[in-house]
Amino acid sequence: MNRYPLWKYIVIAVALSTGALFALPNLFPEVPAVQVSSAKVKVDTALLGTVEETLKAANIPFRGAALDATGIKVRFADPDTQIRAKDALAAKLGDNYIVALNLLSASPQWLSAIGAMPMYLGLDLRGGVHFLLQVDMKAALDKAADRYSTDLRSLMRGEKVQYAGIAREGANVVLRFRDEAERTKARLAIEKNYPDLLLREAEASGGDLRLIAGLKPEAQKRIQDGAVAQNIQILRNRVNELGVAEPIIQQQGAERVVVQLPGVQDTARAKDILGRTASLEIRMVNDEPGVLEAAVAGSVPLGSDLFTERGGAPLVVRRQVVLTGDRINDAQPGFDSRSNEPAVHVNLDGTGARIFKEVTRENVGKRMAIVLVEKGKAEVITAPVIREEIGGGRVQISGRMTTREANDVALLMRAGALAAPMEIVEERTVGPSLGAENIDKGFKSVLYGFVVLSAFMCVYYLLMGLISTIALSVNLLLLVAILSMLQATLTLPGIAAIALTLGMAIDANVLINERIREELRWGATPHAALQAGYERAWGTIFDSNVTTLIAGIALFLFGSGPVRGFAVVHCIGILTSMFSAVFVSRGIVALVYGGRKKLDRISIGQVWKPQAPPPAAPTKA
Amino acid sequence: MEFFRITRDIPFMRHALAFNVISLVTFLLAVVFLATKGLNLGVDFRGGTVIEVNYGHAVDFTRMRAALDKLELGEYSAQAFGRSDTALIRMPLAEGLSSAALSEKVMGALKADDPTATQQRVEFVGPQVGKELYENGALALLLVSLGIVGYLALRFEWRFAVAAIVANLHDIVIILGFFALFQWEFSLPVLAAILAVLGYSVNESVVIADRIRENFRKMRRATVTHVIDNAITSTLSRTIITHGSTLMMVMSIYFFGGETLHYFALALAIGICFGIYSSALVMATLVMWLGVSREDLVKPEKKGGAAGDKILP
C-alpha cells in the first residue's frame, strides 16, 4: 500500500537534480566586469590578447578574461578597478569597439558552459532605461511619395511625355497633363516601370487632366516595415556608442520600437543620443597637389578640413557643403548594371538632383566626399571620383567595394536621417540603487512569508506539514530553475508572484491533508486514508489550477512590462506547484509510510472526532 | 492541533436570502462609489509623468514646491513616498512638452535647489499607450471571465459556471469599490492582482462545487439544501487554512515588498477575504436558486470516469 513505483522516484530525482543545477547560478554573487564588443570589427583572440596586455600595461589587476559569442568579458574585484579598466580599454581600443560596464555572475565556468545562468533581471530590479518609441508612419509614406515624384519626373522625361506638372499631395503624387493622349502614354509607362503604384484618373476644375499615383497597400506596408527596420538599425548604431552591455532594441507591434538599456544611469545622455539626428554632407575633396602632405604635416589650407576616410587614409575636404543629407531620399546597396561590381544606389530629391547635376558637370574627374557628421565628429564614408555629369537624381557609387562595404555605406548614408521621425510614447527609468532596493524587498517578502507559512504547516500538520513544506521548497527550487532556464525577465511584480504562488500552492497540500484527516475521522485506516486523500484531492486540485492558469495566460497575453513578468512567474508557478504538491509530496509519503505493513497512525496533527454519530474508528491519531 | 470542531452541518442555506441581501448591498455600494468617485487611475492608464526623487535628508516639501513652481509646469502633485527622504512628483500629460524634456527640466531645477536630490525613477506614459493599457486590461478581464465560465461549464454544469463567475465578478467590483472609496491609486500591478484574484477565487468555488457533486453521489437521500450545507461545512477548515496561508504571503508582500507593491498586496488581501465569503455563500446560494439537482450532476458520471475519481499521476 502506498508504494510508489521506481520510475516515479527516478522522475523526481531527475527533476530535482536538474532543478538544483539550473537554480545554482543564482546563489553566486555578481561581480563587476567590462565587456568589449564591436559592431564593425570582428572580436577575436587577437583582441583578447590586446585587452590582456593593455590591462597588464596599465597595472590593473583582473580576474580572467574570456571570449564568447557576445564579445570579450573581463572580471574585476571591485567597481573602482572596473571603471579604471574601462577607461584604459576605451582609450586603447578606440572608436571601433564598444567598451561597456557590466555585472556578471561569479558562477563557475562549467555552469555557464551547460547553459545554466542566473535569472534575467528586469529593469526595475537592475536599474536602467526603457523607452517605447513610436514611428511616425505618415512621415515615412510622405517621404516615399517624395521619392516617387522625383522618379516619375525623370521617367516622364525619359519617355518624352509632355506633362504640365508633378507634385506630391499628401501621400500621393499628382501628375497634370494637357491632353488625353499624353496621359495615357504616361499611364502606360508608369504601370510598366512602377508596379507598386496604383493609378487613378481625375479631372481638375481648371480643365487639367490629372493622374493620381498612390502606393498600393502592400507597398505601403513594405515601406512602413522598412522604415521601422531602418530606424531600429540606426538606433542600434547609436546605442552602441552609449556602451551598454546588453541593450534590447526590438520591434513591438507594427509601428513601435522598444529600447531597453540596462544599467544606464545617465538617462539625459541616453535620450540625447537616441533622439539625435546625424547629418550627412556632400563636399568636394581638395586634391590640389601638395595640399594633403601639408595638411598631414599640420597646416590645413584655409576653407578646408582634414578628415580620415573609413579605412584610415587622410583626406582634405573643402568646407563648402554641396548637398546635405536631407536631399537624399534613399540609398540602397546593389550592383553596377554593367560591371556587376557592388555599388550603392543613391536617390536624390528634385532640388538635390538639380544641384548634383551642376556640380558633377563642373567637376568631372575630381573626387567628392560623403561626410557623416555625428556628435560634432565628422567621418568620410566614401570619396568617389566623378566620372561624368549625373542628372535625374539617380546616383551610383561604385568601384573597389565589397558587398559588405556597399551595405555599410548605404546604411550610413541612410543613417543621416531616420526613415521616419520617432517619438517617445513611454519611458520607465529606474536608478540602480532603487533596483537593488527592490531586489532586497522582493527577497524579504518571499523569505518571511515562506518561513511563517512553513512554521504554521509544521505545527498544524506535524510530519505531514513538514512534507508539505518540503514540497513547497521543491516548488520554489523548480520555479527558480525554470525561470533561469527560460531566461524570462524577472520583475518586482514577478517576485511578488513567486510569493503569491507559494501561498496558493500550499492550497493543494492543505486540501490533501484535510482530506486525509477527514477520512481518518470517519474511520478509515491510515493507509486507506492516505490513498483516498491524495486521490480525491487530485481532481479538485487540477480543476482549480486550470482556472488560475486561465487568468495567468490572459494576463500574459494582454499585459505589458511588469505585469507580463508577473504573469510568466504565475503560470510557471502553477505548473511546478501541481508537480511538487501532488507528485513529490506523495513520493515522500510513500517513502515514509509506504514500507510499513502495519501502520497505526499518521503524523498529521490531532484529528478531532465528533462524539455523536458517526461511530468512532478504532484508530486513534 | 485542530481548529475546526464542527459537530453537525452548519445550515448556511437557511440564511441564503440574508447572505444575498448582504452581497447585493455591498455590491451596490461599490458600484455607487465607482460611479460617484471613480477610480484614481495611475500614470499607467491615464498617461502623464511620475518622478521619484530621493534626498540625502527628509524632504522639505515647501522648498521643493517652490522650486517646482518656478518651472510653471501647470498642475502637479508632490508627496512623500514610503520614506521621509523620498518624494513622488506626479504630472499630468502636458501639451507640446515631451517627457524627455520634462523630467530633465524638473531634475535640473531640483538639483539646482538642493544638490542631494537624485532621480530614482521616471515613468512617462503617453496618452495613446495609456489608453491601450486600459483597453488591454478590460480585454484581459473579459477573456479571463469567459475562459473560466467555459471551463466550468465543461467540467461541471452551466449553473456552476454562471454562479461562480457572478460570485467572483462581485468580488472584483467590491475590490474596485474599495479603490474608488479610498481613492487608492489604480496601477498596472493592481490590475494584475485583480486578475489573479479572479483566477484564485474561482479556485475556491471549484473546491465547493466539487464537493457538492461528490455529495450528490454519496448522500443519496439528502435534500439539495442539506447537500450544499454539508459541502460548505466539510470544506470550511480547508478554505480558511488555505486562504489564511495565502494571506500570510500577501501580508509579507504588503509589509516587506515596499511602496510599489503596496496597493498590489492590498488588492490581493481584499480579494482573498471576499473570495472566501463569495465562493462559500454567494456561489452556493446562487447554485441553489438556479435550481441545481442531483440529476444534473450525477447523470454524466454513468457514462464515463468522474472528475473526482481521477487516477493520480
Q: Does residue A255 belong to any structural domain of this protein?
A: yes
- For chain A, the average pLDDT equals 83
For residue B291, the distance in angstroms to the closest alpha carbon of chain A comes to 23
pLDDT at A139: 78
pLDDT at B247: 92
- Mark whether A280 and A414 lie in a shared domain: yes
Q: Which residue of B has its CA nearest to A562?
A: B189
- Mark whether A357 and A453 lie in a shared domain: no
pLDDT, tens digit (0-9, with 9 covering 90-100), for A566-584: 889 999 999 999 889 888 9
Q: Does residue A551 belong to any structural domain of this protein?
A: yes
Tens of pLDDT along chain B (313 residues) come to 667 767 677 788 788 888 888 888 999 999 999 999 999 888 888 888 889 998 888 888 888 888 888 887 778 888 888 788 889 988 887 766 666 678 878 888 888 888 888 888 888 888 888 888 888 888 888 888 888 888 888 888 888 888 888 888 888 999 999 999 999 999 888 988 888 888 788 878 888 888 888 888 888 888 888 888 888 888 888 888 888 999 999 999 999 988 888 999 999 999 998 888 887 788 888 888 888 777 776 655 444 444 444 444 4
For residue A393, the distance in angstroms to the closest alpha carbon of chain B comes to 37
Give the Å distances, CA to CA, from A319 to A203, A284, A315, A324.
Answer: 49, 8, 12, 13
Q: Does residue A50 belong to any structural domain of this protein?
A: no
- Mark whether A346 and A243 lie in a shared domain: yes
Contact list, B129 vs chain A (CB under 8 Å) = 132, 425-426
- Mark whether A398 and A466 lie in a shared domain: no
The number of distinct structural domains making up chain A is 2
pLDDT at A621: 35
Q: Which residue of A has its CA nearest to B126?
A: A425
Cβ-defined contact of A492 to B245 (cutoff 8 Å) = no
Report for A131-145, A408-422, A466-480, B9-23: range of highest mean pLDDT: A466-480
For residue B121, the distance in angstroms to the closest alpha carbon of chain A comes to 4
pTM value is 0.77
pLDDT at B29: 94
Mutate to test the interface with B, among A563, A564, A583, A607 (most CBs of B within 10 A): A563
Last residue of a domain, one of A374, A397, A424: A424
- Mark whether A324 and A445 lie in a shared domain: no
Contact list, A124 vs chain B (CB under 8 Å) = 260
Report for A59-73, A468-482, A535-549: range of highest mean pLDDT: A468-482
* CATH assignment at residue A489: 1.20.1640.10
* CATH assignment at residue A256: 3.30.1360.200
Q: Which of A586, A460, A331 lies closest to B237 in space, CA to CA? A: A460
pLDDT at A374: 62
- Helix (H) / strand (E) containing B216: helix B188-218
- Mark whether A407 and A462 lie in a shared domain: no
pLDDT at B34: 93
Q: Which of A233, A232, A225 lies closest to A255 in space, CA to CA? A: A225
Label residues A45-55 b or e (16+ Cβ within 10 Å = b): eebbebbeebb
pLDDT at A418: 66
- Mark whether A470 and A391 lie in a shared domain: no
Size of interface A-B (CB pairs under 8 A): 265
pLDDT at A1: 54
Last residue of a domain, one of A424, A453, A477: A424
Distance between CA atoms of B52 and A372, rounded to whole angstroms? 39
- Mark whether A327 and A457 lie in a shared domain: no
DSSP reduced 3-state for A128:
strand
- Helix (H) / strand (E) containing A371: strand A368-374
- Mark whether A292 and A401 lie in a shared domain: yes
Contact list, A427 vs chain B (CB under 8 Å) = 99-100, 103, 122-124
Give the Å distances, CA to CA, from A350 to A190, A329, A491, A498, B3.
Answer: 18, 10, 52, 61, 87
pLDDT at B264: 92
Strands ordered across the beta sheet of A172-177: A165-169, A172-177, A209-215, A197-203
Spatial contact of A30 and A103, defined as CB atoms under 8 Å apart = yes
Q: Does residue A382 belong to any structural domain of this protein?
A: yes
Q: Which residue of B has its CA nearest to A568?
A: B192
Last residue of a domain, one of A398, A424, A450: A424
- Mark whether A584 and A492 lie in a shared domain: yes
Confidence of residue A357 (pLDDT cuts 50, 70, 90): confident
Q: Does residue A353 belong to any structural domain of this protein?
A: yes
Contact list, A434 vs chain B (CB under 8 Å) = 52, 120-121
pLDDT, tens digit (0-9, with 9 covering 90-100), for A482-501: 999 998 888 888 999 999 98
Cβ-defined contact of B124 to A493 (cutoff 8 Å) = no
Spatial contact of B147 and B5, defined as CB atoms under 8 Å apart = no
Q: Does residue A250 belong to any structural domain of this protein?
A: yes
Phi and psi at A166, nearest 5°, equal: -130, 130
Residue B249 neighbours by CB under 8 Å, 6+ apart: A449, A450, A453, A499, A500, A502, A503
Q: Does residue A477 belong to any structural domain of this protein?
A: yes
- Mark whether A290 and A413 lie in a shared domain: yes
For residue A596, the distance in angstroms to the closest alpha carbon of chain B comes to 21
Residue A240 has pLDDT above 60, yes or no: yes
Structural domains in chain B plus CATH codes: 12-41+129-297 (1.20.1640.10), 48-125 (3.30.70.3400)
State the cell numbers at A592: 515514509
- Mark whether A417 and A512 lie in a shared domain: no
Decide if A258 touches B, using CB distance below 8 A.
no
**Domain region containing A557:** 6-11+431-594
pLDDT, tens digit (0-9, with 9 covering 90-100), for A328-350: 777 888 888 778 888 888 888 77
Residue A144 has pLDDT above 70, yes or no: yes
Q: Does residue A370 belong to any structural domain of this protein?
A: yes
Choose between B310 and A31: higher pLDDT.
A31
Cβ-defined contact of B258 to A562 (cutoff 8 Å) = no
